[in-house]
Amino acid sequence: MLTCGSIKHLLYVTTARYGVQNPTAASGAVLSVPAPVAGTPACSWRARH
């Protein structure tokens, strides 16, 4: 199961890896991310409090 940290890390690695090679693909990936990552702020809020 993915944790908030691993999701952010995966996004960072994906952007870092493909953003240099293909900015358009990176933009598409970033735009498609909000749906699966929508729960991340609540998750990190819960982790902090």
pTM: 0.28
CA distance 48 to 32: 26
pLDDT band at 6 (very low <50, low <70, confident <90, very high): confident
12 compared with 41, residue with greater pLDDT: 12
> pLDDT tens for residues 25-37?
656 655 555 545 5
3-state secondary structure of 49: coil
Q: What are the tokens at 49?
A: 């409090």
pLDDT at 10 over 60: yes
